[in-house]
């Protein structure tokens, strides 16, 4: 007798040799669509009527539509208990455990796996493959989809096989193995990484290339290297050296452009030839008449400044007198401030004027009398009379 929940995945159990369906303890994430429900109902009817292959295909289709692992449980149970296919049952039970959502589902998967392995030990051997890199693809005898190992552990019939391992950037490995009945047969495979190809190009004339400690000669240079980190260095006379660290993966090809930059050249200019410094002759005394002229200019200018200062002082004095008659404090302050500024300016003019007059008097009385001064000429010396 079979029964199913309204929208929960089915579980297949066998009681007294009769297949029946019951609602699972774990509810699916959401109710199945009408299409999925129709598929599940048909698979249930097929199981009830002992059309087990059709029931298995129906539950597989429901799983593909919903990704609900409960349908994997149904497939594994049917393969193990009704179709006597422990290898297929083991594979689906393993997938059910991988996708289990609760501890209870994991325990159910372990129970199915244990039952399947009991039957498999009677007819198969367990093959366990450890491979590096772990992302390598595995096949048994032939690299065809039908012979691909979906996981590193598989149950196969006893006999001699070749385990094929492939990964991008690594050389293919074929390892022979003899699988014995009912026991674990282990195989370890470590793929060898393919060499990486490095090419260094440069438009710099005379450029030489080194990779790590290997001299590759002039550019363009090519090298086959182990995967990993390498230092590329390019040098040429008159150019700054080029250096770059590259990381190469297995089987990878890489091109490095090493165009060097010219060295900065320092331009050295030779100093001009030294020429003897000309002999500085003592200047001849200024003529007496010129000195006396400047003396009169100084005396006259100083006198003018003194007179101007006196006039300015008189104006300042008058403004101070006028300020005394003001009653407005602001007007008084402004008048007094202006008068003081004029007074200070008058003092300055007096000082400068007096200094100019004094300088003029000194210049006048120290002027030399008329006489001859000796000056050099291209042909010798000459006497120049001054007055």
pLDDT digits (tens, 9 = 90+) for 85-121: 999 999 999 999 999 999 999 999 999 999 999 999 9
255 burial level (CB within 10 Å; 0-12, 13-18, 19+)? exposed
Could you give the CA distance from residue 192 to residue 169 in angstroms, rounded to a whole number?
Answer: 9
Could you give the CA distance from residue 235 to residue 239 in angstroms, rounded to a whole number?
Answer: 7
Mean pLDDT of 169-194: 94
- Is the separation of the CB atoms in 76 and 112 below 8 Å? yes
Lowest-confidence pick of 7-11, 172-176, 209-213, 231-235? 7-11
Tell me the residue length of the chain. Answer: 387
Could you give the CA distance from residue 11 to residue 78 in angstroms, rounded to a whole number?
Answer: 10
Number of H helices, E strands in the chain: 7, 18
3-state SS, residue 376: strand
**Mean pLDDT score of the chain, rounded to an integer?**
83
Quick one: pLDDT at residue 302? Answer: 84
Our CA dihedral for 111, 112, 114, 116, rounded to 10 degrees, sits at 160
Q: Give the number of other CB atoms < 10 A from CB of residue 368.
A: 12
Could you give the CA distance from residue 217 to residue 258 in angstroms, rounded to a whole number?
Answer: 14
Lowest-confidence pick of 130-144, 152-166, 287-301? 287-301
Handedness of CA 125, 130, 133, 135 (dihedral sign): positive
Quick one: pLDDT at residue 270? Answer: 66
Quick one: pLDDT at residue 283? Answer: 54
Mean pLDDT of 324-338: 82
Could you give the CA distance from residue 86 to residue 82 in angstroms, rounded to a whole number?
Answer: 10
- Is the separation of the CB atoms in 335 and 267 below 8 Å? no
3-state SS, residue 5: coil
Residue 51 has, within 13 A of its CA and on its CB side, a CA count of 11
Strands (E), 35-158: 125-132, 137-140, 148-149, 153-156
Residue 107 has, within 13 A of its CA and on its CB side, a CA count of 4
Q: Give the number of other CB atoms < 10 A from CB of residue 121.
A: 15
Nearest to 41 by CA among 77, 8, 90, 88: 8
Could you give the CA distance from residue 146 to residue 114 in angstroms, rounded to a whole number?
Answer: 25
Q: Give the number of other CB atoms < 10 A from CB of residue 28.
A: 19
Nearest to 302 by CA among 360, 366, 365: 360
Mean pLDDT of 338-342: 86
pLDDT 10s digits, 12-50: 443 323 333 333 333 455 678 999 999 999 999 999 999
pLDDT 10s digits, 223-245: 989 889 999 999 999 899 999 99
Phi and psi at residue 222, in whole multiples of 5°? -130, 145
Mean pLDDT of 193-208: 91
């Amino acid at each position: 007798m079979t029964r199913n929940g309204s929208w929960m995945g089915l579980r297949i159990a066998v009681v007294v040799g009769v297949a029946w369906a019951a609602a699972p303890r774990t509810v699916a994430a959401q109710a199945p669509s009408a299409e999925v429900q129709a598929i599940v109902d048909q698979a249930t009817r097929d199981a009830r009527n002992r059309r087990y292959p059709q029931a298995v295909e129906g539950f597989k289709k429901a799983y593909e539509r919903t990704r609900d692992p409960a349908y994997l449980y149904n497939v594994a149970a049917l393969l193990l208990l009704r179709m006597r296919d422990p290898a297929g049952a083991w594979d689906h039970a393993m997938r059910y455990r991988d996708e289990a959502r609760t501890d209870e589902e994991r325990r159910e998967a372990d129970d199915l796996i244990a039952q399947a392995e009991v039957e498999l030990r009677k007819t198969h051997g367990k093959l366990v493959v450890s491979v590096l890199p772990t992302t390598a693809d595995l096949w048994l005898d032939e690299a065809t989809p039908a012979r691909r190992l979906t996981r590193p552990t598989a149950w196969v019939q006893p006999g001699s096989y070749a385990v094929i391992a492939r990964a991008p950037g690594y050389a293919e490995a074929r390892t022979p193995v003899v699988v014995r009945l009912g026991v674990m047969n282990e195989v370890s495979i470590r793929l060898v990484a393919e060499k990486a190809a490095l090419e260094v190009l440069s438009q710099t004339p005379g450029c030489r290339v080194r990779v790590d400690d290997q001299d590759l000669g002039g550019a363009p240079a090519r090298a086959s290297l182990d995967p990993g980190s390498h230092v590329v260095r390019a040098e040429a006379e008159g150019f700054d050296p080029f250096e770059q660290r590259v990381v190469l993966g297995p089987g990878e090809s890489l091109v490095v452009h090493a165009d060097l930059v010219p060295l900065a050249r320092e331009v050295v200019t030779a100093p001009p030839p030294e020429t003897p410094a000309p002999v500085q002759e003592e200047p001849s005394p200024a003529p007496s008449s010129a000195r006396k002229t400047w003396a009169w200019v100084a005396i006259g200018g100083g006198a003018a400044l003194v007179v101007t200062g006196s006039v300015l002082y008189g104006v300042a004095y008058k403004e101070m007198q006028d300020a005394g008659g003001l009653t407005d404090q602001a007007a008084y302050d402004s008048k007094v401030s202006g008068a003081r500024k004029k007074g200070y300016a008058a003092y300055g003019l007096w000082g400068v004027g007096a200094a100019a007059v004094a300088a003029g008097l000194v210049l006048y009385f120290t002027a030399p009398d008329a006489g001859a001064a000796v000056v050099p000429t291209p042909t010798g010396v000459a006497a120049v009379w001054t007055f």
